[in-house]
Amino acid sequence: AFEQLGGASRALEMATDYAKERYAFGRPIGGNQAIKHKLAEMYVKNEVARSNCFYGAWAVSTGAAELPEAAAAARIAACEAFWFASKENIQTHGGMGFTWEVDCHLFYRRAKLLAVQAGAPKVWKEKLVRTLENKNAA
């Protein structure tokens, strides 16, 4: 989950830097409301993922009873944050985001790979629901 969080954070950083540097019609594209909203949503998803990752790390280090829930929540949030950030990073870069000269595609591919390797958010959501149902049934 922390690897995905790191990727999401770097994708946000790349998108933010590009939005500040790229000028269109005499002003930075970061001044456009649509770009601001994309960057803000990326930031929010990253912070939710960061919080859940730290919660999961705490649960592991203390041997807390809520470890299964914390692990699932961390995986879901980190996977969704990385996937979203990598897609929006490409969108922020516009046509340049689809080229091999810019590293946006690396984040996109890594987000997809990690989602497949570790399980897609849908799988982890099902695990989380089952865990909570079993806990409530007991």
> Which amino acid is located at 82 in the chain?
F
The DSSP letter of residue 66 is T
Domains in the chain and their CATH numbers?
Answer: 1-137 (1.20.140.10)
Give the DSSP letter string of 50-62: HHHHHHHHHHHHH
The predicted structure's pLDDT at residue 63: 94
pLDDT tens for each residue of 45-98? 999 999 999 999 999 999 999 999 999 999 999 999 999 999 999 999 998 888
pLDDT band at 41; cut points 50, 70, 90: very high
Q: Report whether 114 contacts 3 (CB < 8 A).
A: yes
The predicted structure's pLDDT at residue 123: 86
The predicted structure's pLDDT at residue 127: 87
Q: Report whether 7 contacts 78 (CB < 8 A).
A: no
Q: Report whether 19 contacts 28 (CB < 8 A).
A: yes
Rg of the chain over CA atoms, in angstroms? 17
Across the chain, mean pLDDT equals 93
The predicted structure's pLDDT at residue 136: 83
Examine the pLDDT at 32 and tell me if it is beyond 70. Answer: yes
pLDDT tens for each residue of 93-132? 998 888 888 999 999 999 999 988 887 888 888 888 988 8
The predicted structure's pLDDT at residue 138: 66
Examine the pLDDT at 21 and tell me if it is beyond 90. Answer: yes
